[in-house]
Amino acid sequence: MFFSFRPLLLAALLSVAGATTAAAQEQPAESKEAAYTRTVNERAAKIVATLGLPDEAKSLKVRDVIAGQYRALNTVHEARKTQLAALKAQPKDDQTEAATKKVEAQATAALDKLHGKYLKQLGRYLTPAQVDQVKDGMTYRVLPITMTAYADMLPDLTAAQKAQMLAWLTEAREHAMDASTSEEKHKWFGKYKGRINNYLSAAGIDMNQAGKDWQARIAARKAAAAPTTN
């Protein structure tokens, strides 16, 4: 007698699928707050990992300090964003313009206060060099990457020129640390890179030609490093 197992197999598969769906529904979705906490903790942990701290307890404390700063900065930026949006919806006049400037000034003051407090907290656990590593971590390492690029593009820079460029990029990094988005962080560096380029141009360096020569050298290096084929 022929007996088909297909109906039984189909029923079993449907049963398993139903049980899996039910189990998934029973698991509560991650709340927005929990997701944000996880994100800032992961971001902070990646920065801490670059420090090479031997003490796990200290690593966790530093991670919490960095994550706490991300959270505090977000609070200030979101409040500023909400207030400015409300003012933008109102008719533009002298009062709204004055109110807008006040909101901006209050946000800047709040960020400055957080900045100083944050650096003091980091200083309790880290050396000045490690604090700089944290700053670089919060700003995508734009400072060291930019200094390396300038040194490669302009190998004849004087010590005084390098010192001035580093001072400006360091100032840019202090601002970028507190910026709300990646775009805003890069804008700060862009502003100071413009200042550096003007400074070097005033010293008689043709930045346009220097850039072209640099790209040619980079291309030549790549060509020299490429494997040869017979």
> Would you list the domain boundaries of the chain?
32-126, 139-225
Q: Report the C-alpha gap between 208 and 206 in whole angstroms.
A: 6
SS3 of the chain: the string is CCCCCHHHHHHHHHHHHHHHHHHHHHCCCCCHHHHHHHHHHHHHHHHHHCCCCCCHHHHHHHHHHHHHHHHHHHHHHHHHHHHHHHHHCCCCCHHHHHHHHHHHHHHHHHHHHHHHHHHHHHHCCCCHHHHHHHHHHHCCCHHHHHHHHHHHHCCCCCHHHHHHHHHHHHHHHHHHCCCCCHHHHHHHHHHHHHHHHHHHHHCCCCHHHHHHHHHHHHHHHHHHHCCCCC
pLDDT of residue 27: 53
**Token pair of 16 as six digits:** 């398993």
93 vs 174, which has greater pLDDT?
A: 174
Q: Report the C-alpha gap between 59 and 45 in whole angstroms.
A: 8
Angle at which helix 159-176 crosses helix 128-138, to 10 degrees, equals 60
CA angle in degrees (0–180, nearest 5) for 206-165-125: 155
Cα–chain center distance at 183: 9
What is the pTM assigned to this prediction?
0.83
CA angle in degrees (0–180, nearest 5) for 68-115-172: 120
Considering only CA atoms, which of 118, 14, 4 is closest in space to residue 67?
118
Q: What is the C-alpha end-to-end distance of the chain, expressed in Å?
A: 69
User: Residue 197 contacts by C-beta under 8 Å, 6 or more apart in sequence?
Assistant: 207
* 9 pLDDT above the threshold of 50: no
pLDDT digits (tens, 9 = 90+) for 124-163: 999 999 999 999 999 999 999 999 999 999 999 999 999 9
pLDDT digits (tens, 9 = 90+) for 72-99: 999 999 999 999 999 999 998 999 999 9
